[in-house]
Structure 1
Amino acid sequence: MTIPTPSITPPPIGDELPEWLRPRVPAGFKPLSSPARLCCIMQKGGSGKSTTAVCLACELALKGFRVRVWDADAQRGGATHWLAPQLGDGAGEPANLLHLFKGEASPDQVTYPTRVPNLYVVPSYTSLKQVELAPPPGVEQVIDWAINNTSEPFDVEITDCGPTLGQLSVAALVGAPNVVIPLKASGFDLDALTELNRTLALTKQRLTPHLQIVAVLLSEVLKSNLTSEVFEALCGDYPDSLVMGVRQSVKAREASLESIRLPLHEYAPTATVRKDFQYLATQLVEGRAV
């Protein structure tokens, strides 16, 4: 990774942040108009994918958008766990993303409200791994088809991917081709980013020509020379994307704990990290506030 000087101008926000951490917005960068589709993806666990997907979704819902999160992560403890959707009587595994892939449920049947007004989720469980082991016909197109065949369209669709670049992640990218990449300033994450870029290039070439990287987020940033260098390098490597740091926060980690499971804006409404997600929501999706 080279570290060129990016030809972009910081926006008029975040005066309390050090210069190296302020969001970098390319000239001509424009928020997406609704209906907007966003995919949070990174080929590594612990990079901040679910935190980004959930917190971004909450902030957009609070702005008045009708938002749906697709939990395309077959691991336990992702967006489904944090958002705690209203799943009915709790008898057995409710209709979820696996049933949609298998053709056993409709998009409406796997969409559930959450405690946040305007925010819905398509849940998943570890059973979703079946999609990787025995992919159904047309697996890459399922989420895109489901979004297009929902009876009451959403203003914003956000897919939350697992830490692997398999069939589920490709389906998430095809369904939501505006990519948000969270990562940390570490060698492991930078190596994973290289692999992700290959997958994104192939997906764009073969399945989704309009795929684009709209934002790159440096998660849980702490002041250090390494963080500063990685941040500047990302600005140079992704000249057409919003690049910004998301500050480290114990509150964000606590909010998703089993004993708490509250949206960040409820659990810690004044947390500094929440300001970062509020700014991200404003930059990524053009729209109204309520």
Structure 2
Amino acid sequence: MSVPSVVPSPPAGDELPAWLRPRIPTSFTPLSAPIRLCCIMQKGGSGKSTAAVCLACELALMGKRVRLWDVDAQLGGATHWLNPDTGDQRGEPANLLHMLKGEASPDEVTYPTSVPGLYVVPSYTSLKQIELDSPPGLEQGIEWGINNTSEPFDVEITDCGPSLGRLTIAALVGTPNVIIPLKASGFDLNALTELNRTLDLTKSRVKPDLQVTAVLLSEVLKSNLTQAVFDAMCGDYPEALIMGIRQSVKVREASLDSIRKPLHDYAPDATVRQDFQYLAATLAGQEAT
């Protein structure tokens, strides 16, 4: 394989430490449409939803038609942040749970957001019941939803919860290009062991084309530990894009109840947004807008 035909400029200059200069292996190639991305990490607070939402927004801003699947039953994730337009409905609108149970079609659970070209399949705490009373074929449910949408999307992204149950397997099967966000800490590194085991089993038994496409060091700070983790990830995932995502209070503010705006809308000049612009452009093989 060759290097990308379009390699965007790094998000900052040469004066930055190595872990903010993305490592792109010579074997890396941009993903061809339709792009399928899975943001996954076993530990909570690693930056999964931030990565999924910001990446989805930047790809939509590039003119792609993007759908983000919220596969996390916890409150405060992608559904909360992007606040999709579900219409004037009483109670819980049709969502991922209903599609997986066969009670709604993929089109019926896909809603527009304030970002042109970006759609969301929402989830709520009710999604937790699917692991206890799962329907037949749950692991193929998201892939089925992608394949049975009336108007296909250029990009499908799943935002997984911090567990490695059947819902996570469904996300991996439907979106097999894996993005791993993690923080430079012993807790996140320990969680990688079980995640890698799940990825290996899913690849060998269910989804042979599963691959780790990118590893993101979330909220990086300049330290020897950050450099050590960056170097370790380069060694552990030799075929993946490895890069740091800078720390910014703007990301946390943007998702607050009182704000709930996409990062590019709330803080368009934030350095962390430059990182996600670079990531989106590199994965898609085009210049950032």
Q: TM-score, normalised on structure 2?
A: 0.95
1:54 match: 53
How far off is 1:283 after superposition? Answer: 1.1
2:97 match: 98
Runs of 5+ unmatched residues, structure 2: none
Instruction: Tell me how large the CA RMSD over aligned residues is.
Output: 1.5
2:216 match: 217
State whether residues 64 and 288 of structure 1, in contact with CA within 8 Å, keep that contact through their aligned partners in structure 2.
Answer: no
1:34 match: 33
State whether residues 143 and 175 of structure 1, in contact with CA within 8 Å, keep that contact through their aligned partners in structure 2.
Answer: yes
What CA deviation, in whole Å up to 9, does each residue of 1:105-157 have, x standing for no partner?
00000000000000000000000001111111000000001100000000000
The aligned amino acid for 1:72 is: V
- Tell me, yes or no, if structure 1 residue 267 matches structure 2 residue 278: no
1:20 match: 19
Alignment of 1:125-274 (within 5 A): 125-274=124-273
Question: 1:125 & 1:213 partners in 2: Cα distance?
Answer: 28
How far off is 1:173 after superposition? Answer: 0.3
How far off is 1:160 after superposition? Answer: 0.3
Secondary structure in 2 aligned to 1:74?
A: coil
Secondary structure in 2 aligned to 1:38?
A: strand
Change in 2 beyond 3 A, CA 1:24/1:137: same
State whether residues 39 and 173 of structure 1, in contact with CA within 8 Å, keep that contact through their aligned partners in structure 2.
Answer: yes
1:280 match: 279
Question: 2:90 & 2:9 partners in 1: Cα distance?
Answer: 51
Question: 2:58 & 2:283 partners in 1: Cα distance?
Answer: 11
Secondary structure in 2 aligned to 1:34?
A: coil
How far off is 1:21 after superposition? Answer: 2.2
Runs of 5+ unmatched residues, structure 1: 1-7
State whether residues 72 and 159 of structure 2, in contact with CA within 8 Å, keep that contact through their aligned partners in structure 1.
Answer: yes
What CA deviation, in whole Å up to 9, does each residue of 1:76-110 have, x standing for no partner?
11000000000111311000000001100000000
State whether residues 40 and 53 of structure 1, in contact with CA within 8 Å, keep that contact through their aligned partners in structure 2.
Answer: yes
Question: 1:92 & 1:283 partners in 2: Cα distance?
Answer: 40
Question: 1:20 & 1:200 partners in 2: Cα distance?
Answer: 25
Secondary structure in 2 aligned to 1:217?
A: strand
Secondary structure in 2 aligned to 1:240?
A: coil
Secondary structure in 1 aligned to 2:180?
A: strand
How far off is 1:25 after superposition? Answer: 0.3
Aligned pair count reads: 282
State whether residues 281 and 287 of structure 2, in contact with CA within 8 Å, keep that contact through their aligned partners in structure 1.
Answer: no
How far off is 1:33 after superposition? Answer: 1.1
What CA deviation, in whole Å up to 9, does each residue of 1:31-73 have, x standing for no partner?
1011110000000100000000000000000000000000000
Secondary structure in 2 aligned to 1:205?
A: helix
1:43 match: 42
Question: 1:214 & 1:259 partners in 2: Cα distance?
Answer: 34
The aligned amino acid for 1:50 is: S
Question: 1:154 & 1:28 partners in 2: Cα distance?
Answer: 26
Change in 2 beyond 3 A, CA 1:226/1:279: same
What CA deviation, in whole Å up to 9, does each residue of 1:202-228 have, x standing for no partner?
000111000000000000000011111
User: Identity of counterpart residues, as a percentage?
Assistant: 75
State whether residues 280 and 288 of structure 2, in contact with CA within 8 Å, keep that contact through their aligned partners in structure 1.
Answer: no
Question: 1:43 & 1:19 partners in 2: Cα distance?
Answer: 26
How far off is 1:11 after superposition? Answer: 7.8
Q: TM-score, normalised on structure 1?
A: 0.95
Secondary structure in 2 aligned to 1:28?
A: coil
Question: 1:216 & 1:82 partners in 2: Cα distance?
Answer: 23
Question: 2:194 & 2:234 partners in 1: Cα distance?
Answer: 19
Question: 1:28 & 1:194 partners in 2: Cα distance?
Answer: 25
Question: 2:19 & 2:170 partners in 1: Cα distance?
Answer: 35
